[in-house]
Amino acid sequence: MSAARAGAAVTRGAAADLPPIRVLPIPEHRPMALDPDEPVFVTWTGAIDHSQPFIQDALAFELMPRRSDVDREVAKVDLPDPHIWIRTTGQLLIEVMAGLRSPAQVVRACAPEVYDAIARRHAAMARRRPEGQGPSIRPRVARVRTSNPVPGAIEAALLIVHGARVRAMAVRVDATVTGWRVTALQLG
């Protein structure tokens, strides 16, 4: 008897010892629908009353950071070089405002009010430009000057060159636990 036949005989014998495979239906992954006339009980503190069996399509998340995250000191070694970060982020911001990039690319680097202003400017540029036509000249950051008015904050003036036009942009970036964040922006 060859080794291949002996291996096949052992495999057939082992398969005969196994129980048959059971096919089960896929379980329902969504919660049961609630009766619209039945009130849902949630306490004023946000705690769920567990006497009610279901909460339909609810996702718990925090809109505000935890106090421990806000109060935590930011180690300077964890942050990138502010001069390089401001130059790179400034280039991204002017490209978004010129309509060359999506505003979503800078959402993590900006405070909400700064992001809203940038997104509005992006939308205005998209409306002005004809369909499918991009700008002929890409704006660029020519120079960056930074100052450190208080620990954990950097204020910078950026010189922007867009074709024959020269503009100034002022930004303030603050240190957060996730890195630098643009908290103020003024384009001149």
Per-residue DSSP letter, 64 = S
Q: Are 118 and 126 in contact (CB under 8 A)?
A: no
Neighbours of 180 (CB within 10 A): 21
Q: For residues 83-99, b (16+ Cβ closer than 10 Å) or e, as one string?
A: eebbbebbbbbbbbbbb
pLDDT for 177: 82
Strands of the 165-176 sheet, one edge to the other? 140-150, 153-162, 165-176, 179-187
Over its length of 188 residues, how does the chain's per-residue pLDDT go in tens digits?
Answer: 555 555 555 556 566 788 888 888 877 666 666 666 766 555 445 555 555 555 445 555 555 555 555 555 556 657 889 999 999 999 999 999 988 888 999 999 999 999 999 999 998 888 877 666 666 678 999 999 999 999 889 999 999 998 889 999 999 999 988 889 999 999 98
Fold adopted by 80-187: Nuclear Transport Factor 2; Chain: A, (3.10.450)
Spatial distance between the Cα atoms of 182 and 114, rounded to a whole number of angstroms: 7
Of 171, 179, 172, 174, nearest in space to 151 by CA: 174
Three-point CA angle 22, 27, 28, nearest 5°: 160
